Structure 1
Amino acid sequence: MTIRAKGRLAAVASGLALVLAAAGCTAADPGADSGARSQKNKDSVVLANPASGASQIGGDAEDMALKASQAFFEKAPAVVVLGNEGAQDAAAGQARELGVPLLVSPEDASEQRAFAAELERLGARTIIAQGALPDSMANGLKVVDGSAPDADLPDIDRAEDSTESGFAVVVRSGDKEAEAAGPALATAQAAGADLHTMESPDPRSPKNQEFFQNHADSSLYAIGNGFAKAEDFSAMAATAAGGKQLPGGGQLVFPERRMVALYGTPGTSSLGLLGEQDVDAAIKLAKKYAAEYQPHSKEKVQPAFEIIATVASAAAGDDGKYSSYVPVERLEPWVKAAQEAGVYVVLDLQPGRNDFLTQAKRYEKLLSYPNVGIAYDPEWRLKPNQRHMVQIGSVDAAELNRANDWLAELTREHQLPQKVVILHQFTQSMIRDRSTLDTSHPELAMVVHADGHGSPGMKMGTWDNLRQDLPKGIRMAWKNFIDEDSPTFTPEQTFDIDPKPWFVSYQ
């Protein structure tokens, strides 16, 4: 990465842990070498050490400009000061050309004090004005009209290019965002930063991934206010830089693709279509189903498995929970084969009297694969003293939230792409307090799976009912029953449903 001003950036730590750049912070000590250099030449620029990891610089234009100066410069004999919004382009260009910070003329007393303190910290002796500035701002410093053709600009010593280490900045696209962040961006670029403009605020989006991967070992700054909260942005940036991909590429499940899945348990034909053949034949069949849907979708249709990992049972079992676990060792070959073949896998949980979090943790090893998500099946979630096929199970949203909290943290810890989270449902009562579902985890892509079977009218009635008061951030999914539906919807009919399902499974 090119560093254009005097000084050398310290080597930055790899990884993207979050450090917030806050107003009023003191820049890092540039080290004895750069300190001695500044004593020898008062007109040299010395760069500060950028914060290691991923940082955010937000606020109004003035505040962001100040934070950027503190983050990127240790010493600067001159600063460009913007006194007129109409002069922002000229001011930014001048700051980049000279390799010095760009500050914004302060208005109130507290901002003026912070401005004066920053000039003192930088050791600035010259203000290059772009637009009118208050007379009180000079405070003994030389003021130069930067817009004058014959402006007496200072001669600033700048180092030869260095590529030893570097940092990068990202900003949201859009006139409003770019204007507010403009002065801070100019300061970052004056210090040698690489710049990337993000149409989407999510580092994991296809248009952003490459930049974050190319800067995996760089200090990273998000400048502006159009990003996720600091902790989430840092985690998403780390995932983007890590580069782990979903089957078919990318790190965000939707809206880049739709999925068509075989449902069932390996080796058990009575539980669904998936178990009627071995893994190789199941992969071939899943791809065949996905291909039949592709003509009816502008998005890529991804083949998938929905594997029943815990099976509701009539007997209580040794633990009295009315649910049996399919061993991880039996499922992992299917997960690995699916990963190699570009097939997504969803592990379906039928917990009986267990809670969903307890069962999900049993499959942590499989959920650590980038191609594995989870499905919660409340029909088989029993209360004490309930029995399968006697009562229809149900679950509180709070229990699902606990399981999702754990899954999101696992995804974040392993820097995995987004995970599909399916909520099976055919009556509103199956998920109690559904409006309180937490849909804020950026690591999870949630869908409600309409499990109703029967005639087209019955199925559409279930579909429309489940769409009522659907929490924001949850998409809809559909199940086709090969034996129980009369008739089974064709691919064209299934994708003609409004809204078009994002996930379709066959049982």
Structure 2
Amino acid sequence: MTTWARGRLAAAASGLALVLVAAGCTATDPGNNAGAFGAQSRDNPNSVVLAAPEPGIGLIDGNAEDMALEASQAFFEKAPAVVVLGNDGEQEAAAGQARELGVPLLVAPGDASQPTDFATELERLGARTLIAHGSLPESLAGDLDVVDGAAPDADLPDIDPAAVPSESGFAVVARSGDKEAEEVGPALATAQAAGADLHSMESPDPRDAQNQEFFQSHADADLYAIGNGFGKAEDFSALAATAAGGKQLPGGGQIVFPDRRMVALYGTPGTGSLGLLGEQDVDGAIKLAKKYAAKYQPHSKEKVQPAFEIIATVASASAGKDGNYSSYVPVEKIEPWVKAAQREGVYVVLDLQPGRNDFLTQAKHYEKLLSYPNVGIAYDPEWRLKPGQRHMVQIGSVDAAELNRANAWLAEFTRKHRLPQKVVILHQFSLSMIRDRSTLDTSHPELAMVLHADGHGTPGMKMETWKHLRRDLPDGIRMAWKNFIDEDTPTFTPEQTYDIDPKPWFVSYQ
């Protein structure tokens, strides 16, 4: 089991406190006479007292026995009796009885000769009765009373339950599926006995459409995740905070793919020579982008979303004052386009042509724009020069390590601001443009990475480039396609573009 650093995680705007049940920690203060919800006094020996939420971040990744113990520690401060599941006991019946009585459900230790943790927990709870489901080793009970909980006429102890309000103040999530339910079932029953709301997650990502509503509706609750399959505690905590915050992509949701595809106009505002986008004002560009997306919709079962790919830094023939052969389009010139696009459900990708600068430096220049939920980024290595190189003389290139640094920063930025997933486009038309491509880090859940086949020419030439770029493409990167209106001979139709295998997730027009 892994224990993570102490410290409550709070979502700034929503107030979400995410607590993954911490292995090996007891969620109780010996000096505190009340549990999380104002439970009964300790003075009543038959009283159940709930535990205050543990201000820690952790993850239970053990077996059913371990998880049941940790759930008991997390949710109960005192219980005069516990339900115990033996090896041959009926788990469903035991869980139902624990929920009905409002007491923990523990699992009998597999090694009955060394029940140290089990005995320690019984002592901590002040339990005097074991309600057994299935046979228990004689050494397990010691001098405690044992009741056969499965018997129809079971003589159950008179238990004074904890005072749990209708809105309990904490919630529990667990992975769905038979295997997870079998392993996690006792711990979940203990959580529900303490009054937790339960949500079963088919996908481990809180931002998934079927999960997001639960996290938003429990934004002010103490939230626990129980079981295996949630990934790293730090990642899950951040994604849960993003889900609870509720910021949405254009068209809804917080995960870019696979529920949408995008069709974009490429270029720079006010500059028609750099692409289709700049040939009209923002209102005209939005109208045209929607028109292009509509042409693709009949050929896609996914929603086709209009988009802009705005060249934010422009490769230049002259070195400029900083000697980097790249100029920044002012933020204040691009921001009105971003705002208008947001209002109209259009996604925006900021394209970087850095010259002798690096991608991370240029990306940071546009922090203000990247803070919008409808803005992603594109790296264009063709325009990334080494010392001594010039545009249009050499084709630029970049090391995967530089892209990894930029993506690590963007992922952390996205996480910090609790933004939905961001599109990250890698432009490429030859393998030499991205050196050591196999080492690209595709592990950031905050980023939706796309490789853009950026070549022009005849259909045969473009398809050869497509096949070449797909070879040995790292997992976690989808494919994108560019249609050149003037340079392609001829330009693919929407139907032809979506007939490419695999169907492109992002298409841009230049």
TM-score normalized by the length of structure 2: 0.94
Contact 2:20 2:224 in 1 (8 A): no
Among 291, 296, 301, the residue aligned to 1:298: 301
What residue number does 1:48 align with?
51
SS in 2 for 1:34: coil
Deviation at residue 115 of structure 1 after TM alignment: 0.5
Provide, for residues 67-102 of structure 1, a one-character-per-residue CA deviation record: whole Å limited to 9, x for no partner: 100000000000001102551111101100110000
Among 63, 68, 77, the residue aligned to 1:60: 63
Matched, 1:400 2:412: no
SS in 2 for 1:316: coil
Distance of aligned partners of 1:427 and 1:143 in 2 relative to their CA distance in 1, 3 Å threshold: same
Deviation at residue 161 of structure 1 after TM alignment: 4.4
**Whole-angstrom CA distance in 2 between matches of 1:85 and 1:194:** 29
Report 1:337-376 matches (<5 A).
337-376=340-379
Contact 2:164 2:195 in 1 (8 A): no
Matched, 1:227 2:230: yes
SS in 2 for 1:234: helix
Provide, for residues 97-142 of structure 1, a one-character-per-residue CA deviation record: whole Å limited to 9, x for no partner: 1100000010237961001000000000000111111000011100
What residue number does 1:208 align with?
211
Structure 1 counterpart of 2:26, which letter?
T
Structure 2 counterpart of 1:23, which letter?
A
What residue number does 2:3 align with?
none
Deviation at residue 56 of structure 1 after TM alignment: 3.6
Deviation at residue 275 of structure 1 after TM alignment: 0.2
Deviation at residue 18 of structure 1 after TM alignment: 5.3
Contact 2:20 2:226 in 1 (8 A): no
Structure 2 counterpart of 1:267, which letter?
G
What residue number does 1:29 align with?
29
Matched, 1:378 2:381: yes
Distance of aligned partners of 1:246 and 1:30 in 2 relative to their CA distance in 1, 3 Å threshold: farther
SS in 1 for 2:311: strand
Provide, for residues 239-290 of structure 1, a one-character-per-residue CA deviation record: whole Å limited to 9, x for no partner: 0000000000000000010000000000000000000000000000000000
Contact 2:19 2:224 in 1 (8 A): no
Deviation at residue 328 of structure 1 after TM alignment: 0.3
Report 1:234-253 matches (<5 A).
234-253=237-256
Between 32-41 and 132-141, the greater mean CA deviation after superposition:
32-41
Among 152, 163, 185, the residue aligned to 2:155: 152
Distance of aligned partners of 1:111 and 1:25 in 2 relative to their CA distance in 1, 3 Å threshold: farther
**Whole-angstrom CA distance in 2 between matches of 1:111 and 1:431:** 57
**Whole-angstrom CA distance in 2 between matches of 1:138 and 1:31:** 28
What residue number does 2:175 align with?
172
**Whole-angstrom CA distance in 2 between matches of 1:21 and 1:101:** 15
Report 1:430-441 matches (<5 A).
430-441=433-444
Report 1:125-204 matches (<5 A).
125-163=128-166, 165-204=168-207
Provide, for residues 11-55 of structure 1, a one-character-per-residue CA deviation record: whole Å limited to 9, x for no partner: x99644654433331222276543895443100100001235875
Distance of aligned partners of 1:104 and 1:446 in 2 relative to their CA distance in 1, 3 Å threshold: same
What residue number does 1:3 align with?
none
**Whole-angstrom CA distance in 2 between matches of 1:58 and 1:73:** 20
Q: What is the number of residues matched between the two proteins?
A: 496
Contact 1:24 1:114 in 2 (8 A): no
Percent identity between matched residues is 83
Structure 2 counterpart of 1:277, which letter?
Q
Deviation at residue 158 of structure 1 after TM alignment: 1.9
Matched, 1:501 2:504: yes
Provide, for residues 187-234 of structure 1, a one-character-per-residue CA deviation record: whole Å limited to 9, x for no partner: 000000000111111000111100000000111111110112100000
**Whole-angstrom CA distance in 2 between matches of 1:166 and 1:85:** 35
**Whole-angstrom CA distance in 2 between matches of 1:255 and 1:197:** 22
Contact 1:54 1:220 in 2 (8 A): no
What residue number does 1:442 align with?
445
Contact 1:18 1:231 in 2 (8 A): no
Provide, for residues 360-388 of structure 1, a one-character-per-residue CA deviation record: whole Å limited to 9, x for no partner: 00000000100000000000000000000
What residue number does 1:69 align with?
72
What residue number does 1:281 align with?
284
Distance of aligned partners of 1:202 and 1:416 in 2 relative to their CA distance in 1, 3 Å threshold: same
Contact 1:264 1:271 in 2 (8 A): yes
Matched, 1:104 2:92: no
Stretches of structure 2 that go unaligned for 5 or more consecutive residues are: 1-9
Contact 1:57 1:68 in 2 (8 A): no
**Whole-angstrom CA distance in 2 between matches of 1:64 and 1:133:** 19
Distance of aligned partners of 1:53 and 1:333 in 2 relative to their CA distance in 1, 3 Å threshold: farther
Between 51-60 and 152-161, the greater mean CA deviation after superposition:
51-60
Contact 1:52 1:219 in 2 (8 A): no
Contact 1:16 1:234 in 2 (8 A): no
**Whole-angstrom CA distance in 2 between matches of 1:79 and 1:17:** 28
Contact 1:263 1:307 in 2 (8 A): yes
SS in 1 for 2:34: helix
SS in 1 for 2:336: helix
Deviation at residue 409 of structure 1 after TM alignment: 0.5
What residue number does 1:388 align with?
391
Distance of aligned partners of 1:53 and 1:24 in 2 relative to their CA distance in 1, 3 Å threshold: closer
**Whole-angstrom CA distance in 2 between matches of 1:492 and 1:357:** 37
Structure 2 counterpart of 1:441, which letter?
H
